Amino acid sequence: MMNQKVRELLNDQINKELYSAYIYLDFSNYFEERGLDGFANWYFIQAQEERDHAMLFYRYLLNNNEKVELKAIEKPSYALTSDLDVLKHGLEHEMLVTSLINNIYAEAYNDKDFRTMQFLDWFVKEQGEEETNANDLITKYELFASDAKGLYMLNSELKARVYSAPSLVL
């Protein structure tokens, strides 16, 4: 039987991952309205990834005979004032998600819940990649976006991104 606090944190993470999907859909909408379809694509794929992350937590709980408690998903509550502002919100959000994963991991560690720790190992690595990607996107934007040709090329690069579902087996 899973520790109650670990179970609660895993259930909360389902909600946080779905909230992340909402945020990235909102970012995608922002860029669609700006005519930057590559940026919109990049964040649309981010939303798909977050939804799948939620499903991994969902399936993990069920596979461990634990109750899944679905909660209301909060509406994003920020003002998007510029392209760079959106990108910085993305990095800040990924850093928040990293802290949430780390908190679950710490609780599982304290309870010697090695199965949950092993499950979370993939997410720890994934969050490192997510923060790097978000930071790289900010760097590229700051380097190239002030030039129309540079922005066009960056947008084209982001438009080429395709979705690849996680291959984590539970």
pTM exceeding the 0.85 threshold for the entire prediction = yes
pLDDT at 83 over 60: yes
Instruction: Convert 72-127 into a string of H (helix), E (strand) and C (coil).
Output: CCCCCCCCCCCHHHHHHHHHHHHHHHHHHHHHHHHHHHHCCCHHHHHHHHHHHHHH
Summarised one tens digit per residue, pLDDT across range 151-164 is: 999 999 999 999 88
What single DSSP character describes residue 147? S
Contacts of 128 (CB under 8 A, 6+ apart): 98
Both structure tokens of 13 = 């993470």
